[in-house]
Structure 1
Amino acid sequence: MKIAICIAFLLSAALAANVKINPLSDDFINHINSQQNHWKAGKNFDETIPISEFKKLMGVREAISKSRRTPTVHSKDIEIPESFDARTNWPECSKVIGEIVDQSACGSCWAVSTTSAISDRRCIASGGKLQVPVSAIDLMSCCWVCGDGCNGGTMEFAWDYWINAGIVTGGGYNSSLGCKPYPFKPCDHHVEGKHVQCTTLSYDTPPCSQDCYNELDFNSELTFGKSETQGFGAVEDIQREISTNGPVTASLAVFEDFLSYKSGVYHHVVGEKLGLHAVRIIGWGTENNVAYWLVANSWNEDWGDLGLFKIRRGENECGIEEVVNAAQAKV
């Protein structure tokens, strides 16, 4: 016990003195757990992985303006439940909403999170009839105004692109679903993972093509959104939007401690900012008297809580309530 206290004291002193501690190390993880009891940190990644590899995954470019859109305000007549999970609220679409995607060794979080939310919303709007996902690689390759594919992009423009140009269908890697499945195979940053290590891979964004990878007709596989892309300024309006139309996308500032999230309600404890990351909010609730958002990440199911995490709600933790967007599906 005395040894553990001594190590914790020395680590705290080192952090206070700005001495760099490996954020993937057991000492760093133990320090996180010693500072709070709202969430549990543990080994998600091998300690030898350079932090620069994680920065490559942070593919959200700074919003042109956080006030670029007029926030959508929902009628206060829409009742907000104490807890909500889109998977159970729309059981006919639970498989679509419950899918945890893997962006692989590519900074495509902005695209995979947007197309995942679009896929959810198409399924919901169609009453479960439209189950085929929407293609992240079509968005990445063809929306030049959105950004630069694996080198990052802007979610607001991605939603606009769906409305104005359309995005074809496409499932995950090695999938036969849709026009353009995701071409990058799942990879592991994780401890004892089941895929090839991401650090051995490097992907360039494929060129834009108006052809399907299979025999499907490109134009027939195009999907569209309708109405203006919506920004949400208040927590209650984010909740009303999710419970009415389905999951939304959000931008999240990722700090070093987030890499080791395992369970509980996350809040930033210690560590440097690595960049901005795109995620998909699918619900909310309360745990141990702490309000949280239920969020899907895009680092496959080996990370965190089977690919999901909870983060403190109502306090704009890590900026998650600042840039939230969605659009209606045209079905």
Structure 2
Amino acid sequence: MRSLSILVFLMLCNVAVSTFKLSNRKIAKEYREALKKFNTAPQNVPQFQKMNLPDTTIGPDKAARRSSYKNFKKYSELVNEINHDDTFSFTAEINKFSIESESDLNTHFGMNMSASFDDEMFENDTDFEFEPQDEAVEKRDAVELPESINWSYTMSEPEHQRKCGSCWAFSAISSVESAYYRATGLRKKFSYQELVDCVFEEKRWGNGCKGASINTGFLWVTRQKRLASREDYKYVAKDGECKKNTTLNSYINVGLKRLYRVPKTESALLQAVVEGVVSVGVKGGRSLLAYKSGIYYDRYLCRATAYPNHAVNLVGYGEEGGKKYWLIRNSWGKDWGEGGYYRMTRDHKNHCKIHETALRLDIQCYNRKQCEEQKKVNELKKQIETELV
């Protein structure tokens, strides 16, 4: 009889464990289904908040699951607010940032305003021209402005900086890639990690994943005059040891011909982006992380007292439905926003402080004859492709 009781007890325990596992799987399934629903219909966010699921994320740590759900709820409330408030001119969504804590969310930025435009940093470099603000204005007054422009075709597809404040490195490298393509006709993917590691060693320049000024990456390029490929020097989203003394097979000569600081006006920024991609600083926050599509405008985040904390690339501008916008390339992956890009209003003066910190560069082509020949070949290919379309 005792043996039978023990057997029954063990069977009941087994059933209880199985039920617990099924319950966890059910919660995980409901969470995934809820995410899909939000991505297609953000207005359904309040429905999920009424589902009374204290543990909605996958993982063995109950406290962590509850914390994730708390972050998710706060994020979903913001998404719901944005999509129902007419003062916001864009659509938000639940995305890969939705269960992150406030401290984790802050790691997706990383622009340090200190010494952002310290001219003395470039004083000893005589191999290229660094144009002060006033000189740059005079030379660009006569630039004819087209109705719209888009330099995204000169760049590789957007990648994700992950939980590392390396936006400054992504912005610099993306500008270099675009300028290199326009100078040579060759597409190259340069290493973000090289800047993160090697600039980190120069403490006065920056702090790697803890952030750096917007011109730090350009300063590294001017000093080294060569960059490693992204494949050879892979991005790992954390500070590492600089490989500058290691022989890399893919080092490519890259020299800055000219670097100039764009004046803090909308007209100057328009003129600058007509000539090429511009590295700029903007104010970033939760609403930008939640961006899905449309023309971004957030009067709360980008108020007059805001300051730039995120380095990106201005790749163009345009107009849609009577609303003027800047076209911006971000560093949060191609699955964020509009294929890794977002459009931000230029109807309002200096929205999100986009005028405050801006640099544009030209690349020096070392083998001029080869570069010119390759550029002609690329232009011919582009012409043929256009005619076929």
1:32 to 70, 79, 82: 82
CA spacing shift, 1:119–1:167, aligned 2, 3 Å: same
Matches within 5 A, 1:117-196: 117-126=175-184, 128=185, 130-143=186-199, 144=202, 145-171=204-230, 175=231, 180-184=232-236
* Structure 1 stretch displaced more, 266-275 or 78-87: 266-275
In the TM superposition, residue 134 of structure 1 has moved relative to its aligned partner by 2.5
Ranked by relative contact order (alpha carbons within 8 Å, sequence separation 6 or more), the top structure is: 1
- Conserved in 2, the CA contact under 8 Å of 1:282 and 1:295? yes
Q: Secondary structure at the match of 1:25?
A: helix
Match of residue 70 from structure 1: 133
CA spacing shift, 1:21–1:205, aligned 2, 3 Å: closer
2:244 to 209, 219, 225: 209
The residue type equivalent to 1:78 in the other structure is: V
Q: Secondary structure at the match of 2:333?
A: coil
The residue type equivalent to 1:104 in the other structure is: R
Match of residue 296 from structure 2: 266
Q: Secondary structure at the match of 1:32?
A: helix
In the TM superposition, residue 29 of structure 1 has moved relative to its aligned partner by 1.0
2:145 to 80, 99, 106: 80
- Conserved in 2, the CA contact under 8 Å of 1:134 and 1:167? no
Q: Secondary structure at the match of 1:254?
A: coil
CA spacing shift, 1:325–1:271, aligned 2, 3 Å: closer
Structure 2 CA distance for aligned equivalents of residues 275 and 54 of structure 1: 16
In the TM superposition, residue 212 of structure 1 has moved relative to its aligned partner by 4.2
Structure 2 CA distance for aligned equivalents of residues 242 and 59 of structure 1: 23
In the TM superposition, residue 158 of structure 1 has moved relative to its aligned partner by 2.3
Q: Secondary structure at the match of 1:117?
A: helix
Aligned-pair identity in percent equals: 24
In the TM superposition, residue 268 of structure 1 has moved relative to its aligned partner by 1.4
1:242 to 270, 273, 276: 273
The answer to whether structure 1 residue 54 and structure 2 residue 87 are counterparts is no
* Structure 1 stretch displaced more, 222-231 or 103-112: 222-231
- Conserved in 2, the CA contact under 8 Å of 1:58 and 1:274? no
- Conserved in 1, the CA contact under 8 Å of 2:71 and 2:100? no
Q: Secondary structure at the match of 1:309?
A: strand
1:285 to 301, 306, 318: 318
Match of residue 322 from structure 1: 356
CA spacing shift, 1:230–1:42, aligned 2, 3 Å: same
Structure 1 CA distance for aligned equivalents of residues 356 and 83 of structure 2: 27
In the TM superposition, residue 27 of structure 1 has moved relative to its aligned partner by 2.3
Structure 1 CA distance for aligned equivalents of residues 85 and 168 of structure 2: 32
Q: Secondary structure at the match of 1:209?
A: coil
Structure 2 CA distance for aligned equivalents of residues 65 and 100 of structure 1: 24
- Unmatched tracts of structure 2, length 5 or more: 1-42, 47-69, 120-131, 366-389
Q: Secondary structure at the match of 1:249?
A: strand
CA spacing shift, 1:280–1:300, aligned 2, 3 Å: same
- Conserved in 2, the CA contact under 8 Å of 1:45 and 1:260? no
- Unmatched tracts of structure 1, length 5 or more: 8-19, 88-93, 185-201
- Conserved in 2, the CA contact under 8 Å of 1:56 and 1:106? yes
In the TM superposition, residue 110 of structure 1 has moved relative to its aligned partner by 0.3
The answer to whether structure 1 residue 227 and structure 2 residue 258 are counterparts is yes
Structure 2 CA distance for aligned equivalents of residues 298 and 168 of structure 1: 19
In the TM superposition, residue 28 of structure 1 has moved relative to its aligned partner by 1.8
Q: Secondary structure at the match of 1:265?
A: strand
CA spacing shift, 1:266–1:253, aligned 2, 3 Å: same
Match of residue 12 from structure 1: none
Higher strand share: 1
In the TM superposition, residue 316 of structure 1 has moved relative to its aligned partner by 1.0
The residue type equivalent to 1:79 in the other structure is: E
Structure 2 CA distance for aligned equivalents of residues 239 and 46 of structure 1: 32
In the TM superposition, residue 252 of structure 1 has moved relative to its aligned partner by 1.1
Structure 1 CA distance for aligned equivalents of residues 71 and 82 of structure 2: 12
- Conserved in 1, the CA contact under 8 Å of 2:221 and 2:227? no
- Conserved in 1, the CA contact under 8 Å of 2:116 and 2:357? no
Match of residue 196 from structure 1: none
RMSD (Å), alpha carbons: 2.8
- Conserved in 2, the CA contact under 8 Å of 1:226 and 1:330? yes
Which has the higher Rg, Structure 1 or Structure 2? 2
Q: Secondary structure at the match of 1:292?
A: strand
- Conserved in 1, the CA contact under 8 Å of 2:262 and 2:268? no
In the TM superposition, residue 65 of structure 1 has moved relative to its aligned partner by 5.9
